[in-house]
Each structure stands twice: as C-alpha cells, then as structure tokens.
Amino acid sequence: MADYRLQGDTGEWEVVCGLEIHAQIISDSKLFSAAATEFGAEPNSQVSPVDAGMPGMLPRVNQFCVEQAVKTGLGLRAEINRWSAFERKNYFYADLPQGYQISQYLHPLVGEGTVYLDMPDGSVVPVGIERLHMEQDAGKSLHDQEPGKTYIDLNRSGVGLMEIVSKPDITSPEQAGAYVNKLRSILRYLGTCDGNMAEGSMRCDINVSVRKPGGDLGTRCELKNVNSVRFIMQAIEAEATRQIEILEDGGEIEQQTRLYDPDKRETRALRGKEHAHDYRYFPDPDILPLIVENDWVERIKASMPELPDEKKQRFIDEYGLSAYDAGVLVAEQAYADFFETLAKGRDPKLAANWFTGDFFGALNKAGVELDAAPVDSAKLGELLDLIADETISGRIAKDVFEEMWETGKPAGQIVEDKGLKQITDTSELEGIVDKIVADNPDQVAQVQDGNQKVKGWFVGQVMKATGGKANPKLVNEILAKKLG
C-alpha cells in the first residue's frame, strides 16, 4: 500500500495516529453492581446506590464482565495479565457521581496484541495493541431537554467498558477506518460488544500528530468521542491539515483535547490535554487485585468462535474464493453464515458473486440489514439452482431476483408464471439462428473475414429474438457451426 502523505507548502507530511476505542461490554448487569444495562430505558431507572455514588456503597466486580474482557484480549492475540488492579481516576464532572472513575492504569487486565488490517489494495497492515483495560462508564448529560438546564441520566453510570488502546501504528484515515471496522468485527464475533456506534456502545478517541517523513513524532492532539467510521476518517484529515498549517507558519502544536465538527469539517479546542498525574491515580481500596487463573483463561479460549482472520483463510482454502471476496464475506458473522448456507452443495464462487453483487446491491439500495431482507439464503439458493441446471440464464436470473426482492415470491414460481425457462431445444434455436444469418449477409462476411467480435453481435441478436431465453452455450455452438 502506498504511503499516505499530506502536501503542505514546505513539502510532504506524514500522519501518525493512535486510537482509543471505548467498547461497552455486553452484560446484563453493570461492572460493579447488579443494575440492568438495557439501552433506551427510562432515564435513571437502572441505577443502583453504587452507580449513584452513595456513601458507604461498596463495588463488587462482575465476573462475567471480566470474562468478556479476557475473551476480547484473546481475540486480539494479546497477553492476558494474570494479575491486574483497579484504580481510581479522579476528576469532577456532573455525570460522574462518585467524583472518580474506577479504571485500570498501571496494571491493566490485557497487555500487548496485534490486529491485522486487510486493505483494499490487497496489502495487510499490522496494528499493535498497547493494552486493554476495564473501567466503568460515566452517566450522560442531556443538554436538549430544557433551555438553560442540563439533565443527568445515570443509567449508563457503571456500565462496563473495555478501553482498547492501539499503538501509534496508523498512518492514514483509510487505515483508521479499516482498524475500527476490523475491531468491531472481532468484538461482534466474540459477542463482547455490539459495536453500535450510533447508540454509543462503541466510541473512539483519536490521537493525531504530524511529522516530516521519517522524523520524530510530533505533539499530538486528542479528538474525543467520534462516533462513526466516516467521521473518524474525516477528523484525522482535518486535524492533520490544521497542525500542518500551524507548523508551516512557524507555530507550535499545543497538546489539547479537541472535538470534531462534521458539519464544518474542522476540529475545535475543548481543553488543554490532561496528563496521567492530573488524575491522581491510586489503587481503589475497596477492590482487591484481580487474579486470573490459567485454567480459566484456557476454558475461555476453548469456547471462542472462529474469528474473522481464521474464517477468511478457511473460505479461501475450502471454497477457492479470492482474498477480497473472502474478506467481504467474513466482515460480519451474519454475512459469513448466510454465505455458508447458500454455498452448501452449490458452486461457492457463483454463490459469492451473487451474494456480494446483486444481493448486497439490493440491501444497500433498500437501506436494510440482512435480517430484514425479503430474500433469505434458501430463496436465493433456489435461484442459483435454476441457473446451475440451466433452467434460466444468468441475465434472466437478474430480472427474476428483482421480482423476488419486490414480491417475496420464490424464484421457481416467478419463472413458471412468466414463462422464463431457457430455450434448450436445438432445432428451435437453429431455426432462429438461420433466419438471423440469412438476414445479415454483411455481418456474416465480416465473421468469415476473421472479425470474431461480430460473432458476439449475432449472439446478442439471438438473445433479443428470444427475449433473453436462449441458452447461451447452445447459441454459441450453433453459431460456430453456421459461421465457421
């Protein structure tokens, strides 16, 4: 993959990024209390005294949340630390009732790992994982309920989070987008986070700096709470451009926390960037260190599903798919499951082409998810069977598919009702070909003079005369005999 560069007045600049992904843990209860975690509940209806920071309330670690974090660490090919500890991160905010956040700083649960990105040009880019630590989420401040007032909803307070911190290995907006998509795919396969950025269950902070090619790392700025892959990519380019303009004007980059405005395509300062000592971390005296036993980790590892990278390689080896097609199919587990059901007993390449082509196109056009599609794998499989046994041609199949999508009718019924079966009677096709050949002596002469492209014109005329129902293979065989 070609190196990404931004052009400034003084030459080219490199972009260096590290991402911090905050992923809400899928769990029925919160990290340190038994309160529910259902999204969209009435404000302040899922708050325990622990979540509300009431005096004397002691947190109790949710073992299932720890299991989910360990599973995620294993999915990231990361080291699982057998000893970790929770610490208090001290800062004030209205939706943080305790006045501190229980997090992990010096001793995270998960250490270094690697995520591999499959880029559009076929290259594979490794991105290092620095750490994964667990922490509790804050509540939510609602500024749009009443003019001049801010309301606090503590339903999210105490929900378990995994903060996944990458190394500064990301060097382009495209890589950042691929990284977030890959990480979301892994989390969804594992069932540890639903990755829904629109609902806030997966949020991204971006650390951006620029430098001259091969130079030392520059001063970074952090872009907070970017909530879509598209905005992440836009924000990186906007912030890098801002920093380049400052540096080329002779200024210095101030380390800041900033926000990205997608409407204006620019970033703006929120506050000076805090350092670790500003939070006065210290071990939480109410929570014992977390000790993870080897046998438990091995049991978790044994229960893990096949993950995207392994599934992609299997699709290449087992089904003979290209790396690109396999990558598209394993991006979502639902896609992979649909494909495997569709390909069972059928030509896998035909199945992949139809699923990633016409089917995906129909999904995008309709703006629906796979589970809401009017054509399921069984119905699409019936259509592929009609192509395979030459009941219909590939061109007619596209028309049949459109009607299947619009009406929900099975392929066989549409073909029967509309009389769309291929003409496979050789004598009938020969009669049609003879007439077209007799009516077009000039084109016949061109073919006999060696212009093979005109033979394709004859195929088109036969298909036109038969309404697309002629068997293309038979048509070509007959034309070869007639035209030489």
List per-block mean pLDDT (blocks of 10 residues) for the chain, which spans 484 residues. Answer: 85 96 98 95 96 94 98 98 97 92 97 95 94 96 90 96 98 97 97 94 96 93 95 97 96 94 94 78 96 97 97 97 94 96 96 96 94 95 94 90 95 91 80 86 82 83 83 80 77
Q: Is 260 helix (H, G, I), strand (E, B) or coil?
A: strand
pLDDT value, residue 222 = 96
Taking only the tens place, the pLDDT of each residue in 34-92 is 999 999 999 999 999 999 999 999 999 999 999 999 999 999 999 999 999 999 999 98
pLDDT value, residue 2 = 63
- Is the CB of residue 176 less than 8 Å from the CB of residue 170? yes
Burial of 350 by CB count in 10 Å (0-12 exposed, 13-18 middle, 19+ buried)? middle
Structure tokens at 376: 């399921």
CA-closest candidate to residue 357, choices 397, 313, 309, 403: 397
> What sign for the dihedral angle of Cα 402, 407, 412, 416?
negative
- Is the CB of residue 120 less than 8 Å from the CB of residue 106? no
Contacts of 153 (CB under 8 A, 6+ apart): 43, 44, 95, 139, 140, 142
Beta bridge partners of 266: 261
**H or E segment and range at residue 429:** helix 426-439
Contacts of 37 (CB under 8 A, 6+ apart): 24, 27, 28, 29, 30, 46, 159
pTM beyond 0.85: yes
- The H-assigned helical ranges of 59-108 are 63-75
- Identity of the residue numbered 1: M
Q: How far apart are CA 39 and CA 202, in angstroms?
A: 13
